[in-house]
Every structure is written in structure tokens, then in C-alpha cells.
């Protein structure tokens, strides 16, 4: 209970900046894994981004993926075949095809699954429309990042804006890497979720920066910038933890209970981005944005001089408690006391 009380009062003394190397190594390893997955496996983009035709049909006889691919023949070689709803339905996604080929695929699926053609759900998206959706998603992300830079530069300073962008890119890569590693489908709802978690991450970072700016303005003890950042982080740490937990609990319910246990697959793509993004956003605000800002600001002339004076002051205090030195004659230096000797 004492630890929780200390956290709630903001009286912890965790050296966030002093352990920055550790945080950066952890983030670096995670980023390398995510980038490698994105380069090798790429993202599992939905039909809305790639264009093509998706055919969903009930599977009452329980046909396997191999049986469906064999029934499709030459078309099955390039089609993406999935069993959904625990094998109760089959989904076939192909590139853009003509109407005759589409009808041929539907007839083949009817034969292998033992269903009726009236229950077939066919969705077609042109390649031009898919490129427009992807282009607009990239544009939305670019506009968001530009607004972030302008806002933080005006509200705080441009170095804080760079730190916030670094944290946002960290969250974006981690979230995208999670989709690539888990092979979850990226839909337009995923893009909405990603923009949402970037806004959440930005909010958390701004809270931290605002506390740092407040402590810099009120500093009367001539602390170094690292000491101010550590003090600010300890003061807002519990607030960040509480905000994250209250957000992760309902999102975790959507992801683990709604989509995995209850089978609501439409929630999975949306909930995963929120869950991973909120966790990564909290981490990056505390362990990336703030330490990166402190290490950068310490290079400025004013803060470099203040650090130098603080180090000299600590050195003088440490020297005052040192044991008395011996003189050249082997006698102890004077300590302010005299001691009589017998002749």
C-alpha cells in the first residue's frame, strides 16, 4: 500500500532519463522485429485496399481449404481461401475478374461446399477504388502528423514536436508490425483505429510535456533539465497508468472476449489496433518522448552550464566528507583539536 500511496502522491524517484539507454534498446529490438515482418510478410490488406472480388459461401459439408482450391482449378492457384466462423463458411478472394470467371467460381464453390447459390455473398471492388482508399489513408496520416508538428511547436517548442513525432512513429510501426505478425486483416476500420490511438498517444505526450514546461518555469533550485524531466515524469506517472488502464480494459474486452471468445470477427481488426496502440502510446510517452527530449535539451548552452555547475556542487559536497589527508611527515592534518603528548 505504501508504494501505491507514493505513486498517487507523485513522490517516486524513478530515474527515467538515466535508464534511457535501456528503454531505447527495448524499443529498438521491437521496431526491428516489426519492420522485418512488414518487409517480409507485409500487411494483410483487405479487399478495400487491394481491389478484387470476395465470395463468401456457407460450408455445410465442411470442405477443407485444399478441397476448395482443387475445385477451383486454375483460379484456385492465385486465390486467397479462408475458412471462417470455425469452418462453417468459406471465403475466396481473388484479383479483379470478369463476370464469367466470377460465375464459374461460384458454381465450383456450390459443388464443393454443398450449398445453394442463393446464399452466396459476392463483393467486388475495382483496383482504382482500392488505390483511392489507400491514398486517402496515407493523406489522412500525413495531415495528422503535420498538424501535430505545428500545434506542439506553437504550444511548446519545436524540439518537443520532434520528440512527439518520434513517439507517434514508434507507435505506428509497433501497431503495423503487430498486424503483420498476427496476419490480421487491415480494413478501413483499422485506419480509423490507428488515427484514434495516435491521437491518444499525442494526448499522453502533451500531458507529460506540459508538466515539464510547468516545472521548468517554476524551478527555483537550479535543477538540471534531466532532473526536471525525472521529477515531472514521477509526478504524472500514476495519471498515465490510470488513463491507460481505464482505456485498455474495455478495449481488451472487445478484443479477447468479443472477437476471440464470442467470434465477433468484425471487432477484431478494430480492437487490435486500439489495444496495441494504447499500450505502445503510453510506453512511448514515458520512455521515448521525455528521455529523448531531456538528452537533446542537455546539449543546449544554458542547460549544459547548469549541469556543469550542479556536478561541481556535488563534487564539493562529496569532497567535504572525505577522510583527513596525511601530511608529508606522516602526521594527521589539523582537525581543530589538540592532543597532548607525554615526554
How confident is the model at residue 16, as a pLDDT?
87
| 259: confidence class by pLDDT, cuts 50, 70, 90 | low
**pLDDT per residue as tens digits for the range 9-35:** 666 778 888 888 999 999 999 999 999
How confident is the model at residue 18, as a pLDDT?
87
* % of the chain residues with pLDDT over 70: 83
**pLDDT per residue as tens digits for the range 278-289:** 888 889 988 999
Contacts by residues 35-40 (CB-CB < 8 Å, ≥ 24 positions apart):
35/173, 35/177, 37/177, 37/180, 37/181, 38/173, 38/176, 38/177, 38/180
Using CA atoms, how far apart are residues 215 and 243, in angstroms rounded to an integer?
Answer: 22
- Mean pLDDT for 112-124 is 78
- Mean pLDDT for 187-193 is 82
Closest CA to 59 of 83, 30, 28, 26: 83
- Mean pLDDT for 39-43 is 89
| 65: confidence class by pLDDT, cuts 50, 70, 90 | confident
pTM: 0.76
Amino acid at each position: 500500500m505504501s508504494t501505491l500511496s507514493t505513486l498517487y502522491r507523485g513522490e517516486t524517484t524513478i530515474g527515467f532519463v538515466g535508464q534511457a539507454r535501456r528503454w531505447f534498446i527495448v524499443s529498438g529490438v521491437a521496431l526491428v522485429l516489426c519492420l522485418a515482418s512488414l518487409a517480409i510478410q507485409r500487411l494483410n490488406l483487405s479487399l478495400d485496399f487491394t481491389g478484387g472480388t470476395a465470395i463468401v459461401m456457407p460450408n455445410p459439408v465442411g470442405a477443407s481449404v485444399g478441397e476448395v482450391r482443387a475445385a477451383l482449378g486454375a483460379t484456385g492457384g492465385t486465390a486467397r481461401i479462408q475458412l471462417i466462423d470455425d469452418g462453417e463458411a468459406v471465403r475466396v478472394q481473388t484479383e479483379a475478374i470478369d463476370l464469367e470467371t466470377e460465375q464459374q467460381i461460384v458454381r465450383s464453390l456450390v459443388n464443393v461446399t454443398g450449398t445453394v447459390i442463393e446464399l452466396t455473398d459476392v463483393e467486388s471492388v475495382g483496383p482504382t477504388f482500392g488505390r483511392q482508399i489507400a491514398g486517402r489513408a496515407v493523406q489522412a496520416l500525413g495531415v495528422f502528423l503535420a498538424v501535430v508538428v505545428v500545434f506542439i511547436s506553437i504550444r511548446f517548442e519545436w524540439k518537443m514536436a520532434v520528440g512527439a513525432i518520434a513517439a507517434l512513429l514508434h507507435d505506428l510501426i509497433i501497431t503495423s508490425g503487430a498486424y503483420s505478425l498476427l496476419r490480421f486483416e487491415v480494413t478501413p476500420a483499422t485506419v480509423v483505429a490507428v488515427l484514434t490511438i495516435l491521437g491518444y498517444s499525442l494526448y499522453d505526450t502533451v500531458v507529460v510535456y506540459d508538466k515539464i514546461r510547468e516545472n521548468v518555469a517554476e524551478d527555483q533550485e537550479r535543477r538540471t533539465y534531466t532532473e526536471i524531466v525525472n521529477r515531472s515524469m514521477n509526478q504524472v506517472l500514476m495519471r498515465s497508468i490510470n488513463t491507460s488502464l481505464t482505456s485498455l480494459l474495455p478495449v481488451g474486452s472487445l478484443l479477447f472476449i468479443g472477437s476471440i471468445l464470442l467470434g465477433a470477427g468484425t471487432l477484431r481488426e478494430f480492437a487490435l489496433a486500439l489495444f496495441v496502440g494504447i499500450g505502445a502510446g503510453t510506453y512511448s510517452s514515458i520512455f521515448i518522448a521525455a528521455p529523448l527530449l531531456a538528452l537533446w535539451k542537455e546539449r543546449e548552452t544554458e542547460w549544459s552550464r547548469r549541469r556543469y555547475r550542479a556536478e561541481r556542487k556535488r563534487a564539493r559536497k562529496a569532497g567535504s566528507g572525505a577522510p583527513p589527508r596525511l601530511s608529508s611527515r606522516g602526521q594527521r592534518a589539523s582537525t581543530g583539536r589538540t592532543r597532548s603528548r607525554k615526554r
